[in-house]
Amino acid sequence: MANASPIWPNSDTPAPQPQKRIKISNASDCRIELTRLYREMRNGKLDIQDGSRLANVVMLIQRSYIETALEDRVAALESEA
């Protein structure tokens, strides 16, 4: 079995390909990733439904970065007062 999965050695299911790690460490990186997803959907490289799902997850991550930054700013202002 040339295509045996490392998880299920007796299976003919091929092993999944390693995914490219995407840098999303701040809200700006999320914006860049959303732009990339949009371009791939417009060019037909990515299915619209899959792209929309990925974009929603990226927007949730972006929102968490923004909320965390706001919380940090409020905490800094409160500690000064």
Structure tokens of 56?
């929603």
Instruction: Give the confidence band of 50 by pLDDT, cuts at 50, 70, 90.
Output: very high
Is residue 73 a contact partner of residue 64, using CB atoms and an 8 Å limit? no
Q: Is residue 38 part of a domain?
A: yes
Q: How confident is the model over 12-33, as a mean pLDDT? A: 84
Question: Given a cut of 80, is residue 16 above it in pLDDT?
Answer: no
pTM: 0.71
Which range of residues forms the domain containing residue 37? 27-80
Number of Cβ within 10 Å of residue 6's Cβ equals 8
Q: Is residue 19 part of a domain?
A: no
Poorest-confidence range of 14-23, 37-46, 50-59? 14-23
Question: Given a cut of 80, is residue 34 above it in pLDDT?
Answer: yes
Q: Is residue 12 part of a domain?
A: no
Q: Is residue 14 part of a domain?
A: no
Q: Is residue 56 part of a domain?
A: yes
Q: How confident is the model over 5-21, as a mean pLDDT? A: 65
Rounded distance, CA 14 to CA 34, Å?
30
